[in-house]
Amino acid sequence: MLKKIITIILLPLLGACSSLSSEDDLSNAVEQVNIKPTYIEVVGKKLIPDNISDKNHGVVKASLLITANFAKKEQQAPESQLKMTLSYFENYKPYVYAVVDGRKTKIKEYTVSTSTCTEHCTATQYFTFPVKNETLIKAAETELLFELKANNGGKVLRFSVPGGYLNAVTEGYKQNMAQPAAVVKQDAADPVQMSKDLFVKASAAEKELFSDWAFKNRKTLGAELNSESKVLSMLEYWYQQASESQRAQILTWVIAQ
């Protein structure tokens, strides 16, 4: 089992201040996919949700992203999370609970709330709360609705995450769960089979080094592996001999191990 996280950057990163909205093309709403030992983590890009609260309830600014964790077959994964930054006029109470699909959960701050004053004073909360994968998959067909509530009453905020954003996240998972094709009798010099045979013989450290290097060179072969290990040198050779489609087969098989 690989201990090191293999990260595949699927799309060019947006600028630091750039956020998607429901008016944008959301088919490319995935920031990155992280292949972990027991699950696949799909991180969405930053999104400005639609505020559907009555008269906005003092909201100044809101943004979020969803990190969906999908377990590999017969494995386990952490709960998927919605991570949010919310700014509002300070005369409103801080928000403590999130309600998604009828499930009320206490939010968890990942950074201490802040306050700024110019003409008006605003407070900003930074928090996360869990969302079930079943809810994300179902909402991909329409939208994800959730509420934020304060303690002891107060204003309730309602937000909508467009289905296109959620669909991109769930598709990001499906694309990385493709299973290797059924193995047929292959020639001894086939790069795919040779890579598999060598990978099995490699140590945990060698597997880690090869996997990291192979993913970085999955499209175009660039930097050499530069290892004195005989197994790694042979793995590098056969990977270089493989076509792009064969490299994809090798990487899919490596992920599944």
User: Coil, strand, or helix at residue 157?
Assistant: strand
Side chain identity, residue 82: L
User: Coil, strand, or helix at residue 251?
Assistant: helix
Chain Cα centroid distance, residue 221: 26
Q: List the domain boundaries for the chain.
A: 6-175, 191-256
User: Coil, strand, or helix at residue 85?
Assistant: strand
The pTM of this model reads 0.62
Specify the length of the chain in residues.
257
The tens-digit pLDDT sequence of the chain (257 residues) is 433 433 333 333 333 347 899 999 998 999 999 988 899 999 999 999 999 998 768 899 999 999 999 998 888 999 999 999 999 998 778 999 999 999 999 999 999 999 999 888 999 999 999 999 999 999 999 999 999 999 887 789 999 999 999 999 998 777 776 544 333 344 446 888 888 888 888 888 888 888 888 888 877 777 777 777 888 888 888 888 888 888 888 888 887 77
